[in-house]
Copies of this chain bind each other. A is one copy, B any other.
Amino acid sequence: MPEPRESRAGQPPTLRDVAERAEVSAMTASRVLRNDPRVLPATRDRVRAAAAALGYRPNEVARSLRLGRGTGLVGLVVTNLANPFYSRLALGVDSVVAADGLKTVIGNTGQDLDGERDLVADLVARRVDGIIAVPAGSDHRHLAAAADGGVPVVLASRPPEGFDADCVLVDDFGGAREATARLLSRGHRRIGFLGSPPAVHTGTERLRGYTAAHADAGLPADASLVRQGQTEPAAAEHAATQLLALPDPPTALFCSNNRNTIGAFRAIRATGTDTALAGFDDFELADALGLPLTLVDYDSDELGRTAGRLLVERIRERRGEDERQTEGVAAYRRVVMPTGLVEYGS
């Protein structure tokens, strides 16, 4: 003998609570609240009043389950949110997807490859509508699995390995080549390289650009001046200090990302040499360091926004698929962001 459903305090009101209060069926209440026009205006008002009185908000969890679509969430997989590159990416992504009513779930992996696998699996289990990832390693099977499972995946700043997906890249090779060429054109012949671990795609592409610039100029690139593996400024500073302490030290350094550039800057300042400095990624206060500085610049906000747009398109496509015929996936897209050089300093 079920009691007449009392809206228990503490528990959020359900559709049925609203329906009972308005003395209609749950279905009618549902229609009103989703603005289905096929309801008598008088009834509509009663339901609306009841919902307002109860402070009713539809349970999105139940809604997701029933509708079978996703949850309106987008997963964002990055290695280190404290790095301004990633936080700007996150902001760019969020600004675009939010316009489609989607929210962003962040997954910060901190370089942990296994963690990234679990994270992606968990996002899929949570039925996110899509995933934007900057994978830490070059093994992308976990992302491939997600994509196979029907979850749209967009990669940012790295191309997919071993599967197909949309991606937004930066012209890593071209930018690095151009910056290195500029150092060479200024007469530098021994140029050190500081970069991320070899497994990171951008790092190796940027190293390729550095090497290519040397080849373009008909000059050798001295492998003993290449230091890869630094992820944080402290490590980069250490590596740079080592390079500057060589018997025949480099007269210039090229760094593959902002973490390494900052570390190298500190090393140069500390040793008091007048080593020239160039690097990939612009960063706040780069103009204020009192040192000449050549940076490879690109629109990092736009990178995030583009990733967001690519994902939103795929999500829309998937939503439509139910109604239309399954017409195969549109070709995967690869957007490459151009780079430019900026000069800072005295």
Residues of chain A having any CB pair with chain B under 8 Å: 10-12, 55, 57-62, 64-65, 71-73, 80-82, 84, 87-88, 90-91, 94-95, 98, 103-108, 121-127, 145, 149-150, 262, 265-266, 269, 284-285, 288-290
Identify the interface centre among A103, A150, A266: most chain B CB within 10 Å of its CB: A103
Residues of B within 8 A of A108 (CB): 91, 94-95, 98
The 9 A-B pairs at the shortest CB distance, nearest first, are namely: A87-B87, A57-B125, A60-B126, A81-B91, A285-B285, A60-B125, A290-B290, A61-B127, A61-B64
Bound complex: CA of A10 vs CA of B147, how far in Å?
Answer: 10
Cβ contact within 8 Å between B12 and A61: no
Please give 13 more A-B residue pairs, beta carbons under 8 A apart, in addition to A103-B105, A284-B285: A12-B149, A55-B145, A57-B125, A60-B122, A60-B125, A61-B65, A82-B84, A82-B88, A82-B91, A103-B122, A103-B123, A104-B106, A265-B288
Bound complex: CA of A125 vs CA of B289, how far in Å?
Answer: 47
State which of B103, B262, B284, B285 has its C-beta within 8 Å of the C-beta of A126: B103
State which of B11, B94, B106 has its C-beta within 8 Å of the C-beta of A94: B106
Cβ contact within 8 Å between B11 and A150: yes
Chain B nearest CB from A141 CB (Å) reads 12
Bound complex: CA of A90 vs CA of B76, how far in Å?
Answer: 13
State which of B10, B87, B265, B290 has its C-beta within 8 Å of the C-beta of A82: B87
Cβ contact within 8 Å between A105 and B73: yes
Bound complex: CA of A269 vs CA of B312, how far in Å?
Answer: 44
Chain B nearest CB from A29 CB (Å) reads 16
Chain B nearest CB from A164 CB (Å) reads 16
Identify the interface centre among A72, A84, A125, A289: most chain B CB within 10 Å of its CB: A125
Residues of B within 8 A of A60 (CB): 122, 125-127
Residues of B within 8 A of A266 (CB): 288
Residues of B within 8 A of A269 (CB): 288
State which of B62, B72, B122, B125 has its C-beta within 8 Å of the C-beta of A59: B125
Chain B's closest residue to A73 (CB) is B105
Chain B nearest CB from A287 CB (Å) reads 9
Bound complex: CA of A222 vs CA of B254, how far in Å?
Answer: 49
Cβ contact within 8 Å between A105 and B107: no
Residues of B within 8 A of A288 (CB): 265-266, 269, 285, 288-290
Chain B nearest CB from A44 CB (Å) reads 21
Chain B nearest CB from A209 CB (Å) reads 26
Chain B nearest CB from A156 CB (Å) reads 16
Residues of B within 8 A of A87 (CB): 81-82, 84, 87, 90
State which of B65, B90, B104, B150 has its C-beta within 8 Å of the C-beta of A12: B150
Residues of B within 8 A of A72 (CB): 126
Residues of B within 8 A of A290 (CB): 288, 290
Cβ contact within 8 Å between A57 and B121: yes
Bound complex: CA of A81 vs CA of B124, how far in Å?
Answer: 25
Chain B's closest residue to A86 (CB) is B87
